[in-house]
Amino acid sequence: MPERVRTELPGLANRFETFVFDLDGVVYRGQRVLPHAVEVLNLLQEAGRQVFFLTNNSGATRQQYAEKLRAMGVDAQPEQFITSAWATALYLQRALNPGAKLFVVGEPGLKQELRTAGFEIVERVEPEIPAAVVVGIDRAFSYARLAQAQYAILSGARFIATNADATYPAEDRLLPGAGAMVAAIATATGQKPRIIGKPNPQILQPYIERGLIQPERTLLVGDRLDTDIALANLLHIPCALVLTGVATRDEVASAPMEQLPQWVLNDLSDLFGDAVRHLLLHAH
């Protein structure tokens, strides 16, 4: 990674060396880029700040997320992305034998991350029970998949969830998240999964251990109190809630202490303060 030349920035952004942004509801909603997100992300990187993206959405690979942001106009590389799918693959590499068989309730991106980590994805749980059932967002979820996952877990397979987000923000509405599939399987089996994604601190530990993220010099920006802000507070990382996704200002007012952000932003331009908001609004 080339040496970054740090330049001064206005507002809150100048206090931090590293920024960790959630994606859904922070940078975009579905295929719609959120206000000022592209300009803010590029300005931070041009000013020598380190930018990472942290998502519980397991539907795509790190490469696919980088391609999506580049198509939106953000300079982004795969190694900047920390996803629940990638973190789940890392966890399973430590927990299971190499090449172990997995039954996946999830989308192609999750399956690709698990294959890249050396696991075999099976489409049937009989006659050989897989080592684990891995559950993420699955927009083709069916009763048949539920029944297979149930059978495998009741027969001894581990129950692993990439995340338990009940919803995620699409362009103009909330849609069911991976947590809906996880809850169905938990109900059918009477078992609770091991959850890898936010707010489990494990998802950021590899980056903290390697010194890529230093908590006291980092700002985490998210749109969910129960995942993004809860994770930041667990790791003592300063955090800001942005109101372009799931959480509302009213929910902040009634949130428990462990889910309270230090700052609340209307959109990402608030990182630079009012003067820059005015400039960004009139830039195009």
Catalytic positions are 22, 24
Give the span between the Cα atoms of 128 and 161, in whole angstroms. 21
User: Terminus-to-terminus CA distance in the chain, angstroms?
Assistant: 32
Q: Do the Cβ atoms of 243 and 264 come closer than 8 Å?
A: yes
Q: Do the Cβ atoms of 19 and 29 come closer than 8 Å?
A: no
Pairing of strands 174-176, 167-169: antiparallel
CB atoms within 10 A of CB 283: 9
Query: Angle between the 84-95 and 108-116 helix axes, to the nearest 10 degrees?
Result: 40
Amino acid found at 194: R
Mention every residue, 6+ apart, whose C-beta is less than 8 A from residue 189: 149, 150, 153, 154, 159
